Copies of this chain bind each other. A is one copy, B any other.
Amino acid sequence: MDYINKYVEENKDRFLEELFGLIRIPSISSIAENKPDMYKAAEYWKKLILEAGADRAEVYETEGNPVTYGEKIIDPSLPTVLVYGHMDVMPVDPLELWNTDPFEPVIKDGKIWARGADDDKGQAFIHAKAFEIMVKNNTLPCNIKFMIEGEEEVGSPNLPKWCADNKEMLKADVILVSDTGMIAPDVPTITTGLRGLSYWEVEVTGPNRDLHSGLFGGAVANPINQLAKMIADMLDDNNHVTIPGFYDDVLEVSDDERALMAKAPYSEQGYKDALNVKELWGEKGFTTNERTGIRPTFDVCGMWGGYTGEGAKTVLPSKAYAKISSRLVPNQQHEKISKLFKEYFESIAPDYIKVNVEYLHGGPSYVCPIDLPEYKAAELALKDTYGKTAVPVRSGGSIPIISTFEEILGIKSILMGFGLESNAIHSPNENFPLEQLFNGIKTIPNFYKHYADLKK
């Protein structure tokens, strides 16, 4: 596909400038005061889609952040691909660990360094440019629709309703998503499973005010000690979650499938070295890839209480807090797990404290069969670029909305991502190698070609 390479070469600098403009908008969906930036990002996407060649594009209001929708319908009898991506990003703290300004992208060592460089501004941008290439070269073989939302990082609370309200407009044969990763830069990967998620904030209250730890220490329960104990009690000695019923609906994976999974390239020493840990950790009886792919988890994402400033303050605090999440696997229902967690957490709270559990967000897990024509099209397109057959993997991450799409719109999603583990998404110094970006832009037009062929 020489015309694709040629077009990319000729427009590289402009592509990067356009992406950088998007990245510079600090569209952090979990911080209320950044709301105006969500609108800036939505308008930016509208312009990207229109300039690439869409018939129309609009910024749609929701109860929360806006959604940018655009489309080009070349022939209603041809297959229709709905591209999904998100314009919102994660918070950037701890800011002091960034080597550069998270919202001022720089290119260094062949990578773009910025929040959103990969997740998901860089990856979603691939589709805008692939679309442009096909339009400008008259090779678009399918109808195309774009749905770029602004609340993915907070669990897409308003997209399900928006999808339901716009079901007719969103009609398509497949949803194409780049928000996942590849095993390595030379190992094309299609994600066939995603974990679900439940996320809670808990508040533990001891005495009604901060107390002098000398005058009251020993007489009154300390809410931090108590919360620590409750958290510790959520995992047993085998690192199984102790919430009753937590594993009841977990889809057990067959020994055959586990054997196939074990063939994915993996170096335990390399994994440990990359994280600088002496030993890995996790649920007994499962390999590392199984623990992140097919098993649910229980992690504290944040905890705070008492005096956290400089030096020493002797205080017996009134309150302690934690943000806690569970990654869930196919067949576990996040609403049910949240209910089980809340009931259990409240049940293990002793009488000398009060607890409050708030459900922050959640989403279901997802599985994609590998015999679908849309899967085959992705496999062929990746082979065109990389010369290898893609590896199907079960990812530990969550894109809660993917299952919801299937539920509401009745459409399967193809998760064809170009991220790498080293891209540090959600972390300081997020980055995206230029090679991944441009390989992505070159791969996607071939997906459309193969998909149109397979659906003929």
Binding site for B on A (CB under 8 A): 30-32, 90-91, 93-94, 97, 153-155, 181, 195, 197, 199, 201, 206-222, 224-225, 227-229, 231-233, 235, 271, 275-283, 288, 291-292, 295-317, 320-323, 325, 327, 350-353, 360-361, 395-398, 421, 424-429
Report the minimal beta-carbon distance from A263 to chain B, rounded to whole angstroms: 18
Complexed CA–CA distance, A216 and B272 (Å): 12
CB pair B278–A352 under 8 Å, yes or no, is yes
Among B153, B296, B300, B428, the residue within 8 A (CB) of A224 is B300
CB pair A325–B213 under 8 Å, yes or no, is yes
28 A-B residue contacts at CB 8 Å?
A: A30-B309, A31-B311, A32-B310, A90-B313, A93-B309, A97-B210, A210-B428, A212-B397, A213-B325, A215-B421, A216-B396, A217-B325, A217-B327, A217-B396, A218-B282, A219-B282, A219-B288, A221-B280, A225-B299, A228-B232, A229-B235, A277-B352, A277-B353, A278-B352, A279-B352, A302-B306, A313-B323, A314-B325
CB pair B300–A350 under 8 Å, yes or no, is no
CB pair B221–A277 under 8 Å, yes or no, is yes
Query: Known contacts A299-B316, A315-B302: does B275 contact A208 (CB below 8 Å)?
Result: yes
- Kindly list the 5 A-B residue pairs having the minimum CB-CB distance in the complex, ordered from nearest: A214-B397, A30-B311, A302-B306, A221-B281, A232-B232
Query: Known contacts A215-B395, A218-B396, A283-B218: does B31 contact A428 (CB below 8 Å)?
Result: no
Complexed CA–CA distance, A220 and B289 (Å): 11
For A93, the closest partner residue in chain B by CB is B309
Among B155, B218, B291, B298, the residue within 8 A (CB) of A327 is B218
Complexed CA–CA distance, A424 and B97 (Å): 38
CB pair B327–A213 under 8 Å, yes or no, is yes
Among B210, B220, B228, the residue within 8 A (CB) of A427 is B210
Query: Apart from A301-B306, A301-B313, what 17 extra A-B contacts exist at CB < 8 Å?
Result: A30-B310, A213-B297, A214-B395, A216-B275, A216-B396, A218-B295, A220-B281, A220-B282, A224-B300, A228-B300, A229-B231, A277-B352, A301-B312, A301-B314, A302-B317, A304-B305, A314-B426
Please give, as numbers and ranges, the residues of chain B lying within 8 Å of A197 by CB-CB distance.
Answer: 214, 314
Report the minimal beta-carbon distance from A135 to chain B, rounded to whole angstroms: 34
Complexed CA–CA distance, A233 and B405 (Å): 45
Report the minimal beta-carbon distance from A241 to chain B, rounded to whole angstroms: 10
Please give, as numbers and ranges, the residues of chain B lying within 8 Å of A206 by CB-CB distance.
Answer: 277
Report the minimal beta-carbon distance from A256 to chain B, rounded to whole angstroms: 22
For A211, the closest partner residue in chain B by CB is B427
Report the minimal beta-carbon distance from A90 to chain B, rounded to whole angstroms: 6
Please give, as numbers and ranges, the residues of chain B lying within 8 Å of A181 by CB-CB distance.
Answer: 215
Complexed CA–CA distance, A299 and B217 (Å): 7
CB pair A303–B91 under 8 Å, yes or no, is no
CB pair B235–A30 under 8 Å, yes or no, is no
For A353, the closest partner residue in chain B by CB is B277
CB pair A276–B313 under 8 Å, yes or no, is no
Complexed CA–CA distance, A325 and B217 (Å): 10
Among B31, B155, B271, B427, the residue within 8 A (CB) of A212 is B427
Complexed CA–CA distance, A206 and B97 (Å): 16
Report the minimal beta-carbon distance from A301 to chain B, rounded to whole angstroms: 5
Query: Known contacts A207-B275, A228-B300: does B309 contact A219 (CB below 8 Å)?
Result: no
For A201, the closest partner residue in chain B by CB is B312
Complexed CA–CA distance, A302 and B32 (Å): 27
Please give, as numbers and ranges, the residues of chain B lying within 8 Å of A309 by CB-CB distance.
Answer: 30-31, 91, 93, 302
Complexed CA–CA distance, A214 and B398 (Å): 6
Please give, as numbers and ranges, the residues of chain B lying within 8 Å of A300 by CB-CB distance.
Answer: 222, 224-225, 228, 305-306
